[in-house]
Amino acid sequence: MNASKPHKVKDIFVEGAIDPAFVGTSLAKHASRTDIGAHEIFLGQVRADKVDDRAVTAIEYTAYREMALERMTAIREEAFGKWPGMTCLHVYHSLGTIKAGDLCFMVFASAPHRRDARDVVAYVVDRIKAELPIFGREVVEGGGYVWKTNT
């Protein structure tokens, strides 16, 4: 990938949970790339945390889509600038109601060397959590919800 060529805005949002089979399919699509030496994948999963002694059963995700995609494009550009050898970067985040135990967030990077792949994923995950206007309401047992804070 050429770091000096601007990337197109990519829609990172998917309706519903991320299917675990999609993770394997994403990896398989890169099998013929002989310039890749490492893949790093972060997978976010909805936890059944306790809120006032009631378990979280799901998270309802919403986002300011246009603003989030604009910010994600900038983060992507910055990542390719910091790691010019990176061969690819894929980001997916769920919208809608995601049940506890289901996948809701995926960042997948490939590079010639493992350290770059690891560093890119950590950088991108942290930036997304801090900067993208994605909101989650934790739905709790017995009804009701609390707004999720990113950690």
| Alpha-carbon dihedral angle through residues 85, 87, 93, 53, given to the nearest 10 degrees | -60
pLDDT beyond 60 at 1? no
At residue 2, the pLDDT reads 43
pLDDT band at residue 51 under the 50/70/90 scheme: confident
Superfamily of domain 13-146: Molybdopterin biosynthesis MoaE subunit (3.90.1170.40)
pLDDT band at residue 149 under the 50/70/90 scheme: confident
Question: What CA–CA distance (Å, rounded) separates 91 from 59?
Answer: 19
Average pLDDT of the chain to the nearest whole number: 93
Percentage of the chain lying above the pLDDT 90 cut: 85
- Whether pTM > 0.85 for this model: the answer is yes
At residue 151, the pLDDT reads 62
pLDDT digits (tens, 9 = 90+) for 99-142: 999 999 999 999 999 999 999 999 999 999 999 999 999 999 98
Q: Where are the domains positioned within the chain?
A: 13-146
